[in-house]
């Protein structure tokens, strides 16, 4: 069975796969030999749009990537209220979900709950199951880093005022129903879309197709 991960660089997924060949459009490179910083720069320039880094042992795919880039671990939440609305934040002109960096002596579950409350003002959060783990590469202080984010389903009966966290660049916090969530996801990030069932996703011809 093929094992595969998507690691996003500016909305373009780098595929980590147990298969050498996943499609004729893909440039395939053994992950052990991949010069990851060069690849990231080529993706940012638009020179690479379909890239597959492979290893036959799926457990070593992320292991090798984490050797090549500093790792930042984060936790976040997909939060539902009593009306089945979902909690969104708006930052950098895009709709996102609340998340943040793991602190010392903190479990990833504690991190996810804390960050959701800090970024949105939403209280009375109840932690549910882990939905998925997403990966994306970002640049901080001139260095590329890998962010590994653990996303949990959460619920809350909170009906009070929502407060965006200005220090994190958050401009808005909103509960969104099904239709508004669909619309928000057209102005969101590809890794955020991985958290949602297909019925939430409106096909967008501009989306990158892996």
Q: What is the pLDDT of the chain when averaged over all its residues?
A: 94
The pLDDT tens digits along the chain (210 residues) read: 668 999 999 999 999 999 999 999 999 999 999 999 999 999 999 999 999 999 999 999 999 999 999 999 999 999 999 999 999 999 999 999 999 999 999 999 999 999 999 999 999 999 999 999 999 999 999 999 999 999 999 999 999 999 999 999 999 999 999 999 999 999 999 999 999 999 999 875 544 444
Instruction: Give the homologous superfamily in CATH for domain 72-200.
Output: Nucleoside Triphosphate Pyrophosphohydrolase (3.90.79.10)
* pTM for this entry: 0.92
Q: CA–CA separation, 147 vs 137, rounded Å? A: 6
Q: Where are the domains of the chain?
A: 4-68, 72-200
Check: CB of residue 66 under 8 Å from CB of residue 85: no
Rounded to 5 degrees, what are φ and ψ at 13?
-85, 125
pLDDT of 58 reads 92
């Amino acid at each position: 069975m093929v094992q595969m991960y998507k690691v996003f660089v500016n909305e373009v997924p780098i595929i980590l796969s147990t298969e050498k060949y996943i499609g004729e459009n893909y440039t395939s490179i053994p992950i052990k030999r991949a010069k990851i910083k060069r690849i990231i720069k080529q993706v940012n320039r638009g020179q690479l749009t379909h890239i597959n880094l492979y290893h036959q042992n799926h457990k070593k795919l992320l292991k090798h990537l984490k050797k090549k880039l500093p790792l930042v671990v984060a936790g976040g939440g997909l939060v539902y209220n009593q009306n089945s609305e979902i909690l969104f934040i708006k930052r950098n002109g895009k709709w996102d979900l609340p998340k943040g960096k793991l602190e010392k002596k903190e479990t990833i579950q504690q991190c996810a709950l804390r960050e959701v409350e800090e970024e949105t003002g939403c209280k009375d959060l109840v932690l549910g199951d882990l939905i998925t783990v997403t990966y994306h590469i970002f640049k901080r202080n001139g260095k590329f880093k890998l962010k590994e984010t653990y996303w949990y389903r959460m619920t809350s009966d909170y009906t009070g005022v929502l407060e965006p966290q200005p220090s994190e660049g958050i401009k808005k916090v909103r509960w969104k129903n099904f239709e508004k969530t669909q619309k928000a996801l057209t102005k969101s990030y590809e890794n955020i879309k991985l958290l949602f069932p297909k019925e939430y996703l409106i096909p967008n011809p501009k989306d990158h197709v892996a």
